[in-house]
């Protein structure tokens, strides 16, 4: 397939970029010229910085499932763009065939059915990060509003384009606002421990847990960041270490089981992590190992801050027990990073992708509308009230 990108014509659906150009590339983007979803393929990092251009819903589903694009906000944005592209190409194809609907009502029936089918399919790619269903639901609501307003199906396709772009743009604004609120919890020279990758590679830009670090660095502050390796998929070692170093942040890598020892040396002033779903009571699901980190932090009196856009807070989940945890393939543990399989053949493997950190181990939940403090049932409700007020007055959260 030939694609036309900002950089010219490609004969492949992949483009390799210099490793030091990370800051110039969005993790997830809609490429309007080629009608593709452009993602950084994170399975190739840190060896190669490769942008992949995806044009079908199957490609998008596979990229999310295989963690080519990953991190709660990034998969939400990717799914919204993939849904728009699918409905757009479906509508173009339908309009150009003999079976084209003759009335808008017929067109709407077919378009709505396709939208629901594709949204359900994309939503099934990963179960834990609520941003995925949040973004797809928002796209569906935009289409429904368009229908309700009496638009033609063609106008609704354009509205879906604009909604996907809005979700993407909002992600950048929201992460910056989380950065501002998170920065108010830090001091120049602090040691910060982070787990997995809640960085720019997990969002469009800035990240959530890393946003305070990037914003502080822009303002001349220095932080010493410790990255947990994050077994079994090594998001900390491969992605967080890579992106922080690319931005000139002082970074040190450690294995997951070294965190308690590190905290006992007084070199960690705060733990900053992202999350995939926060329950109404403040329990937070994040990458496996986060709860262990929080337990060690409690013992060493280090505050744990969970950075969460409001799109990651699921008020329909009463507690962490209601959060579905993704189980992944055993080979990620036994084979993936080894030249030869390192565990006995047919050994049983336990490989949950996430765990739940109890709310009482979390010092604050940093959202784009401020820092929620315990008790979270009340403080998160107040955050949503603030959000509604801001949205009613159409003021951005910064
Ligand atoms: O399995 P992953 O790599 O998608 O897991 C990602 C995380 O656990 C992140 O911490 C979380 O999604 C927050 S990203 C801002």
Q: What are the distances in angstroms from CA 123 to CA 44, 79, 83, 119, 156?
A: 24, 8, 10, 6, 21
Distance, CA of 119 to CA of 372 (rounded, Å): 31
Distance, CA of 353 to CA of 189 (rounded, Å): 32
Distance, CA of 265 to CA of 224 (rounded, Å): 14
pLDDT band at 198 (very low <50, low <70, confident <90, very high): very high
Please tell me the distance between residue 383's alpha carbon and the centre of ligand 1 in angstroms. 22
What digits encode the pLDDT tens for the residues 24-50? 999 999 999 999 999 999 999 999 999
- What would the DSSP string read from start to end of 278-293? EETTS-EEEETTHHHH
H/E element, 52? strand 49-54
Closest C-alpha residue for ligand 1 atom 11: 275
Say yes or no to pLDDT of 398 above 60.
no
**Sequence-separated (6 or more) residues with CB below 8 Å from residue 163:** 80, 84, 138, 139, 142
What digits encode the pLDDT tens for the residues 56-108? 999 999 999 999 999 999 999 999 999 999 999 999 999 998 888 889 999 99
Closest C-alpha residue for ligand 1 atom 8: 287
Q: What whole-number percentage of the chain has pLDDT above 70?
A: 96
Please tell me the distance between residue 277's alpha carbon and the centre of ligand 1 in angstroms. 10
Determine the pLDDT at residue 227: 98
Say yes or no to pLDDT of 5 above 70.
no
Determine the pLDDT at residue 11: 39
Q: Which atom of ligand 1 is nearest to the CA of 195?
A: 10
Question: What residue ranges line ligand 1, CB within 6 angstroms?
Answer: 67, 70-73, 129, 196, 198, 202-203, 207-208, 235, 274-276, 286-287, 353
**Sign of CA pseudo-dihedral 206, 209, 210, 214:** positive
What residues are annotated to the active site?
276
Report the predicted TM-score, pTM, of the whole model to 2 decimal places: 0.94
Cβ count within 10 A of residue 166? 13
Please tell me the distance between residue 249's alpha carbon and the centre of ligand 1 in angstroms. 20
Say yes or no to pLDDT of 9 above 50.
no
DSSP 8-state code for residue 159: H
Say yes or no to pLDDT of 1 above 50.
no
Determine the pLDDT at residue 102: 82
Ligand 1 mutation target, pool 71, 238, 362, most atoms within 8 A of CB: 71
Please tell me the distance between residue 39's alpha carbon and the centre of ligand 1 in angstroms. 16
Cβ count within 10 A of residue 145? 13
Determine the pLDDT at residue 256: 97
Say yes or no to pLDDT of 373 above 70.
yes
Ligand 1 mutation target, pool 65, 125, 175, 202, most atoms within 8 A of CB: 202
What digits encode the pLDDT tens for the residues 221-248? 999 999 999 999 999 999 999 999 999 9
């Amino acid at each position: 397939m030939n694609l036309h990108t900002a950089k010219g014509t490609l004969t492949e659906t992949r483009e390799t970029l210099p490793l030091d150009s990370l800051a110039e590339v969005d993790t997830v983007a809609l490429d309007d010229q080629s009608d593709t979803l452009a993602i950084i393929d994170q399975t190739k990092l840190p060896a190669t910085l490769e942008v992949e251009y995806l044009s079908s819903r199957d490609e998008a589903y596979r990229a999310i499932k295989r963690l080519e694009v990953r991190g709660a906000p990034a998969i939400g944005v990717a799914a919204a763009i993939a849904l728009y592209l699918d409905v757009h190409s479906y509508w173009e194809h339908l309009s150009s065939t003999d079976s084209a609907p003759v009335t808008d009502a017929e067109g709407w029936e077919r378009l709505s059915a396709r939208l629901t089918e594709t949204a359900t399919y994309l939503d099934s790619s990963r179960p834990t990060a609520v941003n995925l269903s949040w973004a797809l639901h928002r796209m569906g609501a935009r289409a429904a509003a368009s229908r309700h307003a009496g638009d033609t199906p063609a106008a609704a396709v354009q509205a879906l384009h604009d909604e996907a772009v809005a979700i993407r743009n909002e992600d950048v604004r929201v992460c910056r606002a989380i950065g501002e609120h998170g920065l108010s919890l830090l001091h120049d020279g602090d040691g910060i421990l982070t787990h997995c990758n809640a960085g720019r590679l997990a969002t469009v830009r800035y990240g959530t847990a890393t946003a305070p670090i990037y914003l502080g660095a822009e303002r001349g502050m220095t932080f010493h960041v410790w990255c947990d390796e994050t077994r079994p998929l090594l998001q900390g070692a491969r992605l967080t270490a890579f992106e922080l170093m690319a931005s000139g942040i002082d970074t040190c890598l450690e294995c997951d089981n070294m965190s308690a020892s590190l905290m006992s040396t007084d070199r960690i002033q705060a733990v900053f992590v992202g999350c995939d779903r926060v329950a109404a009571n403040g329990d937070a699901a994040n990458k496996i190992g986060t709860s262990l980190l929080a337990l060690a932090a409690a013992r060493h009196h280090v505050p744990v801050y969970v950075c969460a856009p409001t799109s990651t807070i699921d008020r329909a989940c009463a507690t962490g027990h209601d959060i579905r945890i993704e189980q992944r393939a055993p080979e990620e543990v036994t084979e993936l990073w080894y030249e030869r399989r390192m565990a006995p053949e047919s050994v049983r493997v336990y490989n949950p992708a996430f765990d739940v950190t109890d709310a009482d181990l979390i010092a604050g939940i940093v959202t784009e509308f401020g820092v929620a403090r315990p008790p979270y049932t009340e403080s998160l409700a107040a955050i949503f009230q603030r959000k509604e007020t801001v949205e009613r007055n159409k003021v951005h959260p910064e």
